[in-house]
Amino acid sequence: MLSITDLKTGTKISLDGQPYEVIFYAQHKQGRGGSIVKTKLKNLMTGATLDKTFQGADKVDEANLSRKSAAYLYRQGDVFLFMDNSNYEQFSIDQSRIGDLINYLVEGAETAILYYNDEPINIDLPIKMDFEVVEAPPGVKGNTASGATKAAKLETGLTVQVPLFIKTGDKVRVDTRTGAYIERA
């Protein structure tokens, strides 16, 4: 059992027999009463989001999830195929469960697969990943008081804001939680 003060962004909990991940967390202290915690939860089975408010004395169960290492193989329509690194079995996960994380999947990438009741339900990517820039317009210097940026397209199709010195063919490191450029790799 977890207290509501143990909830943080990224914490995985179980509500009504379904696994959820906390994607937003805000604690509010009320005058004489206890605090309340407002959360936005993502259902790891369906991908749906839910706004939930917890009162000061509420308790939640930690989700019974397990992880296994796997390699992303390829996409087939709305299904993504993976291979378990320990026994080389192939399995698939539907796009609706993966959500926006598809913007960070490159063939051959190592991922952690989340299992709930021995069923693969979602992926867990590293916080920082490296990608090749496939399209970056030339940077134009002008009246810039601080670091100027431009849009660059990555090998996965994701567009991120990068500094002007990044060009096509460069490798960049991106934060998979926010989609923000971190540094040149």
Map out the domains of the chain as residue ranges.
2-62, 65-124, 128-184
**Residue of 147, 156, 149, 96 lying closest to 129 (CA atoms):** 156
Counting residues of the chain whose pLDDT is more than 90, the rounded percentage is 14
Q: Give pLDDT tens digits for 94-109.
A: 888 887 888 888 888 8
Tell me how far apart the alpha carbons of residues 25 and 175 are, in angstroms, rounded to a whole number.
20
Fold (topology level) of 65-124: OB fold (Dihydrolipoamide Acetyltransferase, E2P) (2.40.50)
What pLDDT does 146 receive? 66
Domains 2-62 and 65-124 share a fold: no
Work out the pLDDT band at 172, boundaries 50, 70, 90.
very high
Work out the pLDDT band at 154, boundaries 50, 70, 90.
very high
Collapsing DSSP to helix, strand or coil, 34 comes out as coil
CATH of domain 128-184: 2.40.50.140
Which residue(s) pair with 114 in the sheet? 67, 122
Work out the pLDDT band at 159, boundaries 50, 70, 90.
very high
Average pLDDT, stretch 15-30? Answer: 85
Tell me how far apart the alpha carbons of residues 3 and 106 are, in angstroms, rounded to a whole number.
38
* CATH-assigned architecture of domain 2-62: Roll (2.30)
Collapsing DSSP to helix, strand or coil, 81 comes out as strand
